[in-house]
Structure 1
């Protein structure tokens, strides 16, 4: 996401079809929104995505599904990063090549070296103005953004993307380890003691350093991971909705529906119907 930690502007859970260019500060809170996120920076960036440290080289187009809990660690306040968000439902309607969206739904972070047609820097200013203008200008920008996404999908299909690097970075290694472990085991009946034991920390200390590093509690992070897992299952399987909640780690249907609606703005069944017409 961008420099702010504000809630998504275009409805609960999504930033809508948006783009901008600016100098972001390091995010203090891990968050999520139901969009495909593209970004390009002249300088290297470092994210924490599902607890994995992901380093994006300079002049490299990065693409991931932002419903996965993520946080920009790098302080890029002296640079200018270009951003594009495409709502997941819009991207699904485009039927992008190479199974791009299914790959992103599994947590892949794709990286494509900048090339003609994928230079986001020179495009976002025009697109942002046209999207805001509405009418025919917005339709033109939307068509161009679709073409951009299609070129990115073709480049990824051709093998231009690189695997996300995983290494210790600016985030405390014990916090990154806890976040990754929570993401991996989110479907299980986790307790604070289990998470703390994994990092060889006392429970109270584990909760303190986790919140200090990611800006949210362990419980909130676990809920984010479970909702992302439920979204994935709703879109990629035919499991009945109650079974989706259980498979994602929710131990009661009421908790599942409440958490899902809080973070996605609609019930699970409506989410599935909207994105799988």
Structure 2
């Protein structure tokens, strides 16, 4: 059965381990769930709005990203279905992939296979995984095969990295995941670093340290980035007045919003809307 994105779907609702076929369609709001999402477009790719940027996903490429990052299809070139697999983030960490590869995923990169030699075998794999789920076969075999394919991609993507993520790194990644999840759910509220530490049961300084180690940014900076990313999506896809938009994203003053937006985006909110809006 082909699926369409459910606009009424609850934010952060998990898909679990799945492999499905979706019909590409324009999304009126972003999807967000704490899983690794893997896409494969057999014919034409799509364009996602991802962290305030438009990113085109190429056809015939095994592509994956951390779906906790808001992602929204804003351009489609075909009505032909594509494959979507989702893997719970906790399972992904258990695979002990190269630390540098995991770091790229945590940092919000979309990673696509660069070697076209895998295109035909990838399409056959996705078809088999999809059939396994449709026919209610044992999904454990499909999960092992997905794990193997991601392992191959990771070690070829970073060939000089033979060292997998360690137990202590997995523990930190789990803690960072909880922090990122808390921020994702509450960034429109007036949250402080102390609130985050309390929510994840870590001292605020330690939470800030391990988060910066992974993301290269402080918790306060990340909260601002989340708010500005939200503002960018609204500027691109709505005609909300900028003042109303700023407060809806979690800023307590228009001056702080303007300063943060200029620092992160390099443009004023008005300039950004004028040069990028889909509503023009």
**Which TM-score bucket, shorter chain as reference?**
0.5 to 0.7
Aligned to 2:126: 124
Aligned counterpart, 2:139: 138
The one-character-per-residue Cα deviations of 1:112-147 (angstroms, maximum 9, x if unpaired) are 134338843222232234346667x22221211111
Matches within 5 A, 1:47-196: 47-97=48-98, 99-113=100-114, 114-116=116-118, 119-131=121-133, 137-158=138-159, 187-188=223-224
What CA distance in whole angstroms lies between the structure 2 residues aligned with 1:155 and 1:148?
A: 11
Q: Give me the whole-angstrom Cα distance separating, in 2, the residues matched to 1:95 and 1:118.
A: 27
Q: Is the 8 A contact 2:21 2:130 kept in 1?
A: no
SS in 1 for 2:118: coil
Provide the residue aligned with 1:20 in structure 2. 20
Higher relative contact order (CA 8 A, sep 6+): 1
Q: TM-score under structure 2 normalisation?
A: 0.53
User: Aligned in 2, Cα 1:123/1:185: closer, same or farther, shift over 3 Å?
Assistant: same
**1:29 positional shift:** 0.8
**Displacement of 1:111:** 1.7
Larger radius of gyration: 2
SS in 2 for 1:60: coil
1:35-88 Cα deviation digits (max 9, x unpaired): 111112121321111112112222222211110111111235522322111110
In structure 2, the residue corresponding to 1:120 is in which secondary structure? helix
Displacement over 3 Å in runs of 4+: 6-9, 117-120, 131-135, 188-192
Cα distance in 2 between the residues matched to 1:158 and 1:100:
10
5+ residue gaps, structure 2: 161-219, 252-280
Q: How many residues align?
A: 182
**1:248-259 pair list within 5 angstroms:** none
Cα root mean square deviation, aligned: 3.9
> Are the equivalent residues in 1 in contact too, given 2:132–2:142 (CA < 8 A)?
yes
